[in-house]
């Protein structure tokens, strides 16, 4: 499939992708757009001028994608296919319009916003290599995984209000911690600020209280995916999380990529999971390929430095998104459009595939050597942390773009 719009083979946004997001330009108010090459397609104006048909045009001029997504996949999937058709090299309807640039906004002049209003946020813990690494560090190297881990996708309910879009700068959080060997806690800026490389899915179809979603039907309830950086203050976390789990160590900010990549765009990249052992309970059993082969990378940069420190892959997940959603709803917990559920840190078996500084520098004991001569055990002030993700096909990529944040000193 080729488009009449010019772009490089390495673009994250070829005609095969068509992800949705919310943007403005200096002359246009907030609206729904889709990414194509280095442009954003102004969908509301294309519908107003009859280049595209859409049953609820006012939805395309809203501040978030929630109402767009809530129309359901019958509507949004058809719209996405119509957009692909309009951009196809054999289609001259828009291509032959001498004023077609008025529908194509340059990405470099646009501002991106939170794509959805997040209703509820859940973070899972579904990478076996990550859970094993953390278990070895904090528990028992011989029994790194807790007894429940291979029987259910462990998760916790997080905070939706502090999920922010890529480009948002984040101040180093302050809080309580208990220094090694101390007997009373101290208060101050976190000394162990970390990223977590994750992918999150956005719920597109609600359920009623009491209803459950099966593994088989789970992907009907998922609209699309974003990259997710679950920023974590390890020193605050180590002191506060017993016995109830993550709290202020994680709720100060999480950062997502602005383009929501649809499940339809990612379907060609589905791959089998590693076989689960022991066998899981019936409601978690699956047939087919529910994981996705998506390359994931983390880059640390500042004025003097730009260095890739993680090369992982979404396919390393032990529990699939379908199993996560089936487990989340098996007790009757209801879903809302705009719910966000993150994977948990995605680590692979090799050290360069570890998805957090905690693991890369092994709790501060193996500092990372950086290209500018400095070392890192955790994030420093003024570091820019960028997550990148894309699935590679023969001749094109389905990408997420960037999920980036700069760490500012504590206030
Ligand atoms: Mn996490």
Residue at which a domain ends, from 56, 88, 113 = 113
CATH code for position 213: 3.90.850.10
Q: Are 170 and 234 in the same domain?
A: yes
pLDDT digits (tens, 9 = 90+) for 46-67: 999 999 999 999 999 999 999 9
223 Cα–ligand 1 center, Å: 21
Please give the pLDDT value at position 140: 86
232 Cα–ligand 1 center, Å: 8
Mean pLDDT of 95-101: 95
Domain presence at residue 32: yes
Domain presence at residue 14: no
Residue at which a domain ends, from 66, 94, 113 = 113
Tokens (6 digits) for 293: 């082969």
> Where are the extended beta strands (E) located within 234-379?
254-256, 261-262, 270-271, 291-292, 295-302, 305-313, 340-342, 368-369, 375-376
CATH code for position 39: 2.30.30.230
Q: 130, 221, 327, 328: which is the annotated catalytic residue? A: 130
Domain presence at residue 2: no
- Which domain does 341 fall in, by range? 121-408
Q: Are 307 and 354 in the same domain?
A: yes
Q: Are 211 and 109 in the same domain?
A: no
Mean pLDDT of 121-131: 97
Our CA dihedral for 90, 96, 101, 107, rounded to 10 degrees, sits at 0
Residue at which a domain ends, from 113, 134, 167 = 113
Q: Are 78 and 185 in the same domain?
A: no
Domain presence at residue 12: no
CB 173 within 8 A of CB 227: no
Catalytic residue status for 151: no
The secondary structure element, H or E, covering residue 69 is: helix 66-70
pLDDT at 139 over 90: no
Q: Are 105 and 125 in the same domain?
A: no
| pTM beyond cutoff 0.95 | yes
247 Cα–ligand 1 center, Å: 12
pLDDT digits (tens, 9 = 90+) for 202-238: 999 999 999 999 999 999 999 999 999 999 999 999 9
Q: Are 109 and 125 in the same domain?
A: no
Q: Kindly report the CA angle at 168 between 167 and 171, in degrees rounded to 5? A: 135
pLDDT at 114 over 90: yes
Average pLDDT, the chain: 97
d(CA 366, CA 351): 11
Q: Are 73 and 32 in the same domain?
A: yes
pLDDT at 138 over 90: no
Please give the pLDDT value at position 363: 95
How many domains does the chain fold into? 2
151 Cα–ligand 1 center, Å: 19
Domain presence at residue 9: no
Q: Are 289 and 323 in the same domain?
A: yes
Domain presence at residue 3: no
Q: Are 101 and 135 in the same domain?
A: no
83 Cα–ligand 1 center, Å: 35
Q: Are 206 and 341 in the same domain?
A: yes
pLDDT digits (tens, 9 = 90+) for 176-189: 999 999 999 999 99
124 Cα–ligand 1 center, Å: 7
Tokens (6 digits) for 186: 């101290």
Residue 248 makes CB contacts below 8 A (sequence gap 6+) with: 173, 175, 233, 236, 240
Mean pLDDT of 381-386: 98
Q: Are 262 and 399 in the same domain?
A: yes
Domain presence at residue 360: yes
Please give the pLDDT value at position 324: 98
Q: Are 104 and 253 in the same domain?
A: no
Domain presence at residue 59: yes
């Amino acid at each position: 499939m080729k488009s009449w719009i010019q772009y490089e083979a390495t673009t994250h946004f070829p005609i095969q992708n068509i992800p949705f997001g919310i943007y403005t330009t200096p002359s246009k108010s907030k609206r729904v757009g889709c990414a194509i090459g280095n442009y954003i397609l102004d969908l509301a104006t294309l519908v107003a001028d009859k280049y595209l048909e859409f049953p609820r045009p006012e939805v395309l001029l809203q501040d978030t994608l929630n109402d767009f997504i809530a129309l359901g996949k019958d509507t949004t999937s058809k719209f996405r296919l119509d957009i692909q058709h309009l951009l196809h090299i054999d289609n001259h309807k828009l291509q032959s319009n001498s004023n077609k640039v008025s529908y194509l906004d340059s990405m470099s002049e646009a501002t991106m916003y939170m794509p959805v209003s997040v209703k509820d946020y859940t973070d899972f813990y579904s990478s076996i290599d990550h859970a094993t690494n953390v278990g070895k560090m904090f528990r028992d190297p011989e029994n790194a995984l807790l007894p429940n881990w291979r029987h259910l996708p462990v998760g916790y309910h997080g905070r939706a209000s502090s999920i922010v879009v890529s480009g948002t700068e984040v101040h180093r959080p302050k809080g309580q911690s208990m220094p090694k060997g101390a007997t009373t806690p101290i208060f101050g800026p976190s000394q162990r600020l970390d990223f977590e490389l994750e992918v999150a899915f956005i719920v597109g179809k609600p359920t009623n209280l009491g209803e459950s979603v099966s593994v088989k039907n789970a992907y009907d309830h998922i609209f699309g995916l974003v990259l997710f950086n679950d920023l974590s203050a390890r020193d605050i976390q180590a002191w506060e999380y017993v016995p109830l789990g993550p709290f202020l160590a994680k709720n100060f900010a999480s950062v997502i990529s602005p383009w929501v990549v649809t499940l339809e765009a990612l379907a060609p990249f589905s791959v089998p999971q590693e076989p689960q052992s022991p066998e899981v309970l019936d409601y978690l059993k699956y047939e087919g390929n529910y994981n996705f082969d998506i390359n994931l990378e983390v880059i640390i940069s500042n004025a003097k430095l730009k260095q890739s420190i993680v090369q992982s892959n979404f396919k390393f997940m032990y529990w699939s998104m379908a199993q996560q959603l089936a487990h989340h709803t098996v007790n009757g917990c209801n879903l809302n459009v705009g719910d966000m559920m993150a994977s948990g840190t995605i680590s692979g078996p090799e050290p360069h595939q570890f998805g957090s500084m905690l693991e890369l520098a092994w709790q501060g004991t193996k500092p990372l050597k950086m290209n500018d001569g400095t070392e890192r055990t955790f994030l420093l002030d003024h570091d820019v942390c960028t997550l990148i993700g894309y699935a590679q096909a023969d001749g094109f990529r389905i990408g997420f773009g960037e999920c980036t944040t700069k760490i500012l000193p504590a206030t």
